[in-house]
A = this chain, B = another copy of it.
Amino acid sequence: MKYSYLGPEGTFTESAVRRLAPSARQTVPFPTVPAAVEAVRSGRFSRAVVPLENSVSGVVPPTLGELVAHAGQLRIDAQVTIGVTFALMAGEGTRLSDVRRVVSHPHALGQCRQWVERHLPHAATVVADSTAAAAVALADGGAATDAAIAAPETAARYGLTVLAHDIGTRRDAMTRFVSLRRSGADGPPTGQDRTALLITSDRSDPGVLTGVLGELSRRQVSIAWIQSWPRQTARGRYHFLVEVDRHIAHPGLAEAVEAMRKGVDSLTLLGSYPYIVDREVKGEKAAA
């Protein structure tokens, strides 16, 4: 299977691909979330792996945008949550006291802000497309920066030296990734599954949203996550992206979805998929 993912190489997204498909040989980085998704929509790749949400910095809006824009043509076929740690890295010979400009992805800068403010109070921050792109920019010398924040593994890959490890504010930060494919049948339940729904309604009466969500709770199906997403064709109105803690093969959920359809203009299943949480995030020790 060919995997596209949000690149470049050495980002946390590549780690997510490895977690989902340890033996995948064809894994190709793309510069943006829409480009990685397009590779799958066009049929050139079988799966796209992109970040959905980070526990510190929240959702990754471009991924939500792709899910909404291509609902019905894309299917979530897996999710994986992995732990993220950040390191400050620089070229050989650079000392912490030399650092004047730090480059990274905005999410990583946000997560390491407290450390940077304390240890590099006079440093300016510069944004890059990804943590790995920050390391590349630093290694290339193109961006006039002295240090980059990225995954610790990134340093070796780009010939950089780690000046400080684990500089994120939340040491238990994690990122949730989705694996996307073209539409088709969902895999069978695995025992730890979720289902994602996209709900759209033109009715403006107060009870619409609580009415449809009530169909879930009435059948003991928990809402794990919910996001409003602006509708492009209806100013000030929203789609609702809802994730529930069940596979669609669960009779209660299948029944709830049928009932929900009656109360809204449109309900699209975005997939039922295994919800994988990495061992380290769960706090378990790896087997010897």
Contacts and interface: CB of A to CB of B under 8 A. Distances in A.
A83 to B, nearest CB: 10
Interface string A91-124: 0000000000000001100100100000000000
A235 B62 contact: no
B210 A174 contact: no
Interface stretch (A2-10, A14-22, A148-156, A214-222): A214-222
A228 B230 contact: no
Given A209-B223, A210-B210, A220-B206, A172 B127 contact: no
Contact of A235 (B55, B127, B223): B55
A183 to B, nearest CB: 23
A72 interface: no
Given A213-B209, A217-B206, A227-B227, A170 B232 contact: yes
Interface string A53-64: 111111101101
B235 A222 contact: no
A62 B206 CA distance: 29
Copies of this polypeptide in the complex: 2
Given A57-B62, A59-B58, A281 B223 contact: no
A197 interface: no
Contacts of A222: 204-206
Given A31-B125, A57-B61, A207-B217, 13 more contacts: A34-B113, A53-B230, A54-B230, A55-B230, A57-B62, A57-B65, A58-B59, A81-B236, A127-B127, A142-B144, A172-B235, A206-B222, A209-B226
Given A213-B213, A217-B210, A61 B59 contact: yes
Interface string A28-53: 00010010000000000000000001
